[in-house]
């Protein structure tokens, strides 16, 4: 499937890339949206997904350009190619949206998520948790005599794997930031 890298209003690539090549396969796409940081802009994006029945697997947002008042929203979504194309086109219509980039198409890209994980346990389990954390390069950011909080960054898959391993060792709580992502190269 081809990219619909909608630089606001531009159809430079889009006319060709609007050419359909649609299948029913569900695809996972990481899309970044550069938006004017005005009140309610996140509600617009979320409202679009809710109102039109699109999936949000993960969503992060933060101001990235303080002078230009621009924020970057990174949203991970799944859908058929046709739905993904619609999502991008619909995002592009939102007035304060400056740019929509489908990293999955434009790639390769780097994707990272941060999680903090609380693991409660004693004796062997505690030792094993530490050992595994080391392998995953998770840091201990808080500890008591019978608990740790680990901080881990990586792809969502890596964090899933870490959480799966920690579960039998006493994982009680996990907080994840959602994905931040950027294209590689210039």
Partner 1 sequence: MTREMTGAKMIVQALKDQGVDTVFGYPGGAVLPIYDEIFLQNDIRHILVRHEQGAVHAAEGYARSTGKPGVVLVTSGPGATNAVTGLTDALLDSIPLVVLTGQVPTFMIGSDAFQEADTVGITRPCTKHNWLVKDTEKLAATIHEGFHVATSGRPGPVLIDVPKDVQFATGEYQPPKPTASHYQPLVKGDMEEITELVAAIEKAERPVFYTGGGVINSGPAASQLLRELVEATGFPITSTLMGLGAYPASGKNWLGMLGMHGLYEANMAMHDCDLMINIGARFDDRITGRIDAFSPNSTKAHIDIDPSSINKVIRVDIPIVGDVAHVLEDILKVWKSRGRKTNAEALANWQGQISEWRAISCLSYTGSETTIKPQYALQRLEALTKDRNRYITTEVGQHQMWAAQYLNFEDPNRWMTSGGLGTMGYGVPASIGAQVAHPDALVINVAGEASWLMNMQEMGTATQYRLPVKQFILNNERLGMVRQWQELLHGERYSHSWSEALPDFVKLAEAFGAKGIICKDPADLDDAIMEMLDYDGPVIFDCLVEKHENCFPMIPSGKAHNEMLLGEAETQGVIQSGGAVLV
Residue with tokens 């697997």: 57
From the list 86, 147, 155, 177, which residue makes contact with partner 1 (rule: CB under 8 A)? 86
Q: Is 92 among the residues that bind partner 1 (CB under 8 A)?
A: yes
Figure out which of the listed residues 15, 25, 135, 145 binds partner 1, where binding follows CB under 8 A: 15
Q: Measured from the CB of residue 84, what is the shortest distance to partner 1 in angstroms?
A: 11
Q: Give the nearest distance from C-beta 180 to partner 1 in angstroms.
A: 24
Looking at beta carbons only, is 95 or 110 nearer to partner 1?
95
Which one among 1, 3, 5, 6 touches partner 1, defined by CB under 8 A? 6
Q: Verify binding: residue 143, partner 1, rule CB under 8 A.
A: no
C-alpha dist (Å) from residue 66 to 48, 59, 62, 70: 25, 20, 10, 7
- Residue 21 or 143: the one with the smaller Cβ distance to partner 1 is 21
- Distance CA(109)–CA(182), nearest Å, equals 6
Asked if 90 is part of the footprint of partner 1 (rule: CB under 8 A), the reply reads yes
Residue 31 CB, nearest approach to partner 1 (Å) = 14
CB of 28 to partner 1, least distance (A): 20
Beta-ladder partners of 16: none
Give the per-residue contact string, 33-52, with partner 1 (x = CB under 8 A; - = no). ---x--xx--xx--x---x-
Report in angstroms how near the CB of residue 43 gets to partner 1 at its nearest: 6
**Sequential DSSP letters for the chain:** ------BTT--TTHHHHTS----S--EEEEEEEEEE--TTHHHHHHHHHHHHT---SEEEEEEEETTTTEEEEEEEEEE-HHHHHHHHHHHHHSTTEEEEEEHHHH--EEEEEEEEEEEE--HHHHHHHHHHHHHTTPEEEEEETTEEEEEEEE-HHHHHHHHHHHGGGTEEEEEEEEEEEEES--
Instruction: List contacts with partner 1 (CB under 8 A).
Output: 4, 6, 8-11, 14-16, 18-20, 22, 36, 39-40, 43-44, 47, 51, 82, 85-86, 89-90, 92-96, 98
């Amino acid at each position: 499937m081809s990219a619909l890298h909608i630089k606001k209003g531009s159809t430079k690539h889009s006319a060709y890339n609007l050419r359909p090549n649609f299948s029913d396969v569900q695809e996972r796409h990481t899309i970044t949206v550069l938006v004017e940081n005005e009140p309610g802009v996140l509600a617009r994006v979320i409202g679009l997904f809710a109102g039109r029945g699109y999936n949000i697997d993960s969503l992060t947002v933060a101001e990235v350009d303080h002078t230009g008042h621009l924020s970057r929203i990174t949203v991970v979504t799944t859908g058929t190619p046709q739905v993904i194309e619609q999502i991008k086109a619909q995002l592009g219509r939102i007035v304060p949206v400056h740019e929509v980039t489908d990293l999955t198409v434009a790639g390769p890209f780097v994707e990272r998520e941060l999680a903090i994980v609380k693991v409660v346990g004693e004796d062997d389990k505690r030792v094993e948790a530490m050992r595994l954390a080391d392998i995953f390069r998770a840091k201990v950011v808080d500890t008591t005599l019978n608990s740790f909080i680990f901080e881990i960054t990586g792809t969502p898959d890596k964090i899933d794997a870490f959480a799966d391993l920690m579960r039998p060792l006493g994982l009680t709580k996990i907080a994840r930031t959602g994905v931040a992502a950027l294209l590689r190269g210039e």
